[in-house]
Amino acid sequence: MAIRGGAPRHAYTWITAHAPWSAWAWRNTTFTAAAIPAALPVLLGLTATVTAPGPGRLPPLLVLLLGPLLTRLQRSRFRTLLGLDVPRAEREGGRFSPLAAARWLRSEAAWRQYGYHLLVSPLAAVAGALVVLAWAFGAAATCVYGWIWILPTDTRTPAWSTDCDAVTVGGVLLLLLAPWLAALIARLDSVAAASLLGPNRARELERRVEDLAESRAGVLDAADLERRRIERDLHDGAQQRLVALAMNLGIARATLTDLPAEAKAVIDEAHRGAKEAIEELNNLVRGLHPAVLEDRGLDAALSGIAARAPFPVELTVDIAQRPGATVEAVAYFVVSETLANVAKHARAAHCRVHAERVPAAGGPAHGEALLRITVTDDGVGGADPARGTGLVGLRKRVGSVDGTIMIESPLGGPTVITVELPCGL
């Protein structure tokens, strides 16, 4: 319903669509004329207040009480006559109670609606009256030749015929113009109604953003929960069975010493296979969501990855208060993925991982603390986020919790990756 004027092409289609002989002409006319009765209570109230001050406090009060009813009336006018649905403002109507009424009167939506009834509605009524008059005068003037004979002959001046020509032309023009006038008024009225009777768009967007943020957090949490469930299932199911199998094969290998060489080789092979499967499963589980992260937090979990790295890692973790589980999972993923990248590409001899909780960059107004993770390596540098799939995955995972990632990697090194995650999620 927003007005989109400006483009000449648009204006042209609008003019042709609202031509006097179109159905729209009649709809708009009825609609604008209907503004008159709708505005009557307000007009009467205003007139009463102006002409009879003093005890005349009743009319404004009446308007105040009639507000919701008038809103409903106007909305119905738009819907039935124009086919336009003005969306309802938030939390309107419902069960009547003095408290609800007081809350309603204090709300910003209520005052926008009164603004419409007191300001726009009278203007629309006046405009509606103008349209009606335009039709009436136009019709009257167009058939001036038809009824001029009724007038007494002595009132006709010698110039009557030219006068009557002008009046006829004027009437036709007025008839042609009236629908467009009605369309213009209807347009203005509907724009005003949308912004005053409908919900506040900015407020609505804000609420939508809030809803979206909430649902995204829900999705992230659900994914995280799912990872934890899979990890637990693997741990308590497949992994235990594999360990038991490998152990039994180990027992067989240790006790059945007098077997033929081929049988021994088969047992050896099976034993090695089982151990490799355990190792693979461990790596898989680690990437999912390690149990140690859940039980003991980031410090413990990061020690694990740092210790497994194929180069010396210096680790400092300075987090007094644990961040949310989802953020911890992302932080763990960041360090794990970054160290894997360093091992694969950087040819580094040494790496430093630092995790700390810092106040938000936006100051206390922003509120939330940040979890900052810095990974520095002394490798060859040249890490390009545009190419490495690892870095792209990292960026996506960090972005999923509104985190930021900064990669400084000049050719020849050193590479510094800084990730900041909001702790609140």
Positions that interact with other proteins (CB under 8 A): 232, 235-236, 239-241, 243-244, 246-251, 253-255, 271, 274-275, 278-279, 282, 290-292, 295-296, 300, 303-304, 306-308, 312-316, 352, 354
Q: Which is nearer to other proteins, 109 or 313 (CB)?
A: 313
Closest separation between CB of residue 286 and other proteins, Å?
A: 8
Closest separation between CB of residue 354 and other proteins, Å?
A: 7
Closest separation between CB of residue 312 and other proteins, Å?
A: 6
CA distance 334 to 317: 14
Closest separation between CB of residue 273 and other proteins, Å?
A: 11
Residue 303 tokens read as 């020690």
Closest separation between CB of residue 268 and other proteins, Å?
A: 12
Q: Which is nearer to other proteins, 57 or 350 (CB)?
A: 350
Q: Which is nearer to other proteins, 279 or 408 (CB)?
A: 279
Closest separation between CB of residue 272 and other proteins, Å?
A: 10
Beta bridge partners of 420: 372, 404
Q: Which is nearer to other proteins, 88 or 354 (CB)?
A: 354
Q: Which is nearer to other proteins, 134 or 274 (CB)?
A: 274
Q: Which is nearer to other proteins, 325 or 360 (CB)?
A: 325
Closest separation between CB of residue 324 and other proteins, Å?
A: 19
Closest separation between CB of residue 381 and other proteins, Å?
A: 22
Beta bridge partners of 419: 373, 405
Q: Which is nearer to other proteins, 148 or 315 (CB)?
A: 315
Exposed e or buried b for every residue in 177-196, given b needs 16+ CB within 10 A?
A: ebbbbbbbbbbebbebbbbb
Closest separation between CB of residue 356 and other proteins, Å?
A: 11
Q: What is the 3-state secondary structure (H, E, C) of the chain?
A: CCCCCCCHHHHHHHHHHCCCCCHHHHHHHHHHHHHHHHHHHHHHHHHHHHHCCCCCCHHHHHHHHHHHHHHHHHHHHHHHHHCCCCCCCCCCCCCCCHHHHHHHHHCHHHHHHHHHHHHHHHHHHHHHHHHHHHHHHHHHHHCHHHHHHHCCHHHCCCCHHHHHHHHHHHHHHHHHHHHHHHHHHHHHHHHHHHHHCCCCHHHHHHHHHHHHHHHHHHHHHHHHHHHHHHHHHHHHHHHHHHHHHHHHHHHHHHHCCCCCHHHHHHHHHHHHHHHHHHHHHHHHHHHHCCHHHHHHCHHHHHHHHHHHCCCCEEEEEECCCCCCHHHHHHHHHHHHHHHHHHHHHHCCCCEEEEEEEECCCCCCCCCCCEEEEEEEECCCCCCCCCCCHHHHHHHHHHHCCCCEEEEECCCCCCEEEEEEEECCC
Q: Which is nearer to other proteins, 312 or 399 (CB)?
A: 312
Closest separation between CB of residue 304 and other proteins, Å?
A: 7
